[in-house]
Structure 1
């Protein structure tokens, strides 16, 4: 069973598998709402109904007799990828023994990548439902994730970077434009960029909702609602995520004390920084900094571009 310090019980797909015949080898939380689980299963039937989170499944061994009920002629195999979007529904039959890795991530995490990496509103893109697809990049990342010791904090930091890279790749390679049915209720592209650029250009500031709303020339009420539509999360959550992203990059500079990092990233105090950082990443800023020496260079080569 997963370590008590890294629970994934709130994850619908994870919970469904724990109630099936599947055997869990290990699991962990990587921070940023990212989770990993390594499974084995055989002679089973499972179903997923709109889990509310996204799941990437990569077959590592077996799967030759596994199929989805609505596509019985298509079978699994090692190095095949399935993608289950948050609104996905499916029923599966598992034949012989198979071993597979799951990467779980939240819609809010995908929204961050849409805006920051692709400069696109989250409502404009959707992940495609993929069944036994071939994707060498995702397979290679998955096998590197499996090779890590998930109990080690340094390894989990490396895994976090790999998972970010996987999500970015998923969006670029397996994302699709949603139909432009109704775009009312969000910020214009120019205003969205203006607000995002201001937040990231003023990391040490502590903007009020009114100050951000003024950038868009909107009332606080309308700005808060429209911001969530265009950014996929409320303003305060975006500001906190931007601060944590900046703090992460600054922790690589050992010339800066943790107190300096906290101040320059916009946190009220070192203890506030410590608590927020640990809540998201499962490690203190000091532990994260110490673990940077273990980072695999290629793990983050594709993230953030």
Structure 2
């Protein structure tokens, strides 16, 4: 649960696939969840304890956290101070485009979750946020974005690790995700997912939770919400249609789930500024 004093999203029209968020919380705890985009979080006030893959990480003011797509994570504040966070949400396609002509090829395969303590990089991301907020010189914005992301990649570039044999294989997971994305508007059953993975229902539940850190139904709800986020910013479709297309049985159900996940209503999230 979260109690926010303020929450704001800014969609960058000149760079589709980039969304900047800024929030101040009085108190909060985020339940395990994942994103379909890369999330770069800059803590500017307060203390956060974040967990992923069974490990706990301590973030204080000036720390940056990189969270790649599909990594399940949770967070809870520590202490009595308000907590202020700036997030840069960047799509995999936008990230790949940024580094298409650099030494950082296949960035998605080698980027791992990371906490970075680098005051100069933190200052650079703060400058980046301010540059986009002022809607000023696009040349300055491009330079700040590329230089910030390159420094972040240097700090986060990891050697690929072997797959964990106790969970789903990468191929099984991608097959399930592709199927769910193609059928979000429909009812998706446990039998269907187990059959796709070639497992019994009991095996599927156990392996899936081992792989993702979430029960299948919880993961599927988050997938529906993440896809709805993308539709809200990339199309002019009515919110009722977006809700239906992503498997929500009515707009009220969609609004409640969306606000619980992102702290604002879908109509507010869609606003350009």
**Which bracket does the TM-score occupy, shorter chain normalised?**
0.5 to 0.7
SS in 1 for 2:124: helix
Partner residue of 2:177? 196
Kept in 2: contact 1:227–1:233 (CA 8 A): yes
Question: Can you list the C-alpha shifts for 1:13-48, whole angstroms capped at 9, x where unaligned?
Answer: xxxxxxxxxxxxx8347x8788764339xxxxx9x9
How many residue pairs were aligned?
201
Partner residue of 1:27? 24
Q: C-alpha displacement at 1:258, in angstroms?
A: 1.5
CA 1:177–1:104: 2 relative to 1, 3 Å? closer
SS in 1 for 2:166: coil
Q: C-alpha displacement at 1:262, in angstroms?
A: 0.6
Once residues 190 and 108 of structure 1 are traced to their aligned partners in structure 2, the CA distance between those partners, rounded to angstroms, is 16
Q: Which among 112, 116, 124 is matched to residue 140 of structure 1?
A: 124
TM-score scaled by structure 1? 0.50
Q: C-alpha displacement at 1:252, in angstroms?
A: 3.2
Matched, 1:230 2:211: yes
Give the number of the structure whose alpha-carbon radius of gyration is greater: 1
Q: Which among 116, 141, 165 is matched to residue 184 of structure 1?
A: 165
Which is richer in strand? 2
Q: C-alpha displacement at 1:176, in angstroms?
A: 2.5
Question: Can you list the C-alpha shifts for 1:53-92, whole angstroms capped at 9, x where unaligned?
Answer: 37xxxxxxxxxxxxxxxxxxxxxxxxxxxxxx944589xx
**What do you get for the CA RMSD once the two structures are aligned?**
4.6
Q: Unpaired segments of 5 or more residues in structure 2?
A: 7-22, 74-90, 93-106, 134-147
Alignment map for 1:31-110 (pairs within 5 Å): 37-39=43-45, 51-53=49-51, 86-88=55-57, 100-102=61-63, 110=71
Q: Unpaired segments of 5 or more residues in structure 1?
A: 8-25, 41-45, 55-84, 91-98, 150-165, 295-305
Once residues 3 and 169 of structure 2 are traced to their aligned partners in structure 1, the CA distance between those partners, rounded to angstroms, is 44
Once residues 149 and 70 of structure 2 are traced to their aligned partners in structure 1, the CA distance between those partners, rounded to angstroms, is 9
Question: Can you list the C-alpha shifts for 1:84-122, whole angstroms capped at 9, x where unaligned?
Answer: x944589xxxxxxxx94455688997448xxx95766xx
Q: Which among 249, 274, 278 is matched to residue 230 of structure 2?
A: 249
SS in 2 for 1:5: strand
